[in-house]
A and B are shown apart, each in its own frame.
Chain A
Amino acid sequence: MVLKELAVILALLAIPPFLGYYATFIATMAIIFASYTLPWLYMEKEAGWLSLGNSIAFGLAAYSLAIDARLLPLSIAVSVGIVFALSFAGRPLFPFATFVCSLAFWQASHHIVIGGSGGEEGFSYASLPLNLAFLSAAVLFLSGYLLFRALSSSSFGLKVNATRDDEIAARGVGINPVSVRLAVFAISITFSALSGIIYLLYFGHVSPDVFSPVVALFPFIASILAGKRWISPLLGSYFIVVATNALAAILPEFHYLIYAAALAAFPLLRRIRDAAETV
Chain B
Amino acid sequence: MISEIVSVLIFSAFTVCILLCYKVCRLLNLSFGSIFALGAHLATVSPLLSLLAGSIAGIALHRATRSLKLPEATIVSLGFGLGIEEAIRLTFRGSQYIVLPAEIVRIVGEAIYAATLAAGVISAAFIVSLLAVLNSGIGLKLRFVEENSELAELYGIDTESARLLILTVTSALICLLGATAGTVQAIHPAMGWPYLTFSVIAATPANLFGRHRYAAAVLVNVACLLWF
By a beta-carbon cutoff of 8 Å, the part of chain A in contact with chain B is: 92, 95-96, 99-100, 103-104, 106-107, 213, 217, 251-253, 256-257, 259-267, 270
Contact = CB atoms under 8 A, between A and B. Distances in A.
Given A256-B82, A260-B79, A263-B82, A96 B201 contact: no
A205 to B, nearest CB: 20
B201 A259 contact: no
B208 to A, nearest CB: 12
A93 B90 CA distance: 33
B75 A263 contact: yes
Given A260-B80, A260-B83, A266 B75 contact: yes
Contacts, number: 73
Interface stretch (B36-44, B63-71, B97-105, B170-178): B63-71
A interface SS class: helix
A104 B86 contact: no
B74 interface: yes
A49 B115 CA distance: 44
Given A264-B64, A266-B72, A266-B76, A107 B82 contact: no
A251 B65 CA distance: 28
B193 A213 contact: yes
A128 B155 CA distance: 66
A96 B68 contact: no
A109 to B, nearest CB: 12
Interface string B78-98: 111011011001100100000
Contact of B28 (A96, A261, A265): A96
A256 B76 contact: no
Looking at B28, B71, B75, B93, which has the most chain A CB atoms within 10 Å of its CB?
Answer: B75
B46 interface: no
A188 B79 CA distance: 26
A257 B83 CA distance: 6
B218 to A, nearest CB: 20
Contacts of A266: 72, 75-76, 79
26 contacts: A95-B71, A96-B74, A96-B200, A100-B197, A100-B200, A100-B201, A104-B201, A107-B194, A107-B197, A213-B193, A251-B90, A252-B89, A252-B93, A256-B83, A256-B85, A257-B86, A259-B82, A260-B83, A260-B85, A260-B86, A263-B78, A264-B76, A264-B83, A266-B76, A267-B68, A270-B72
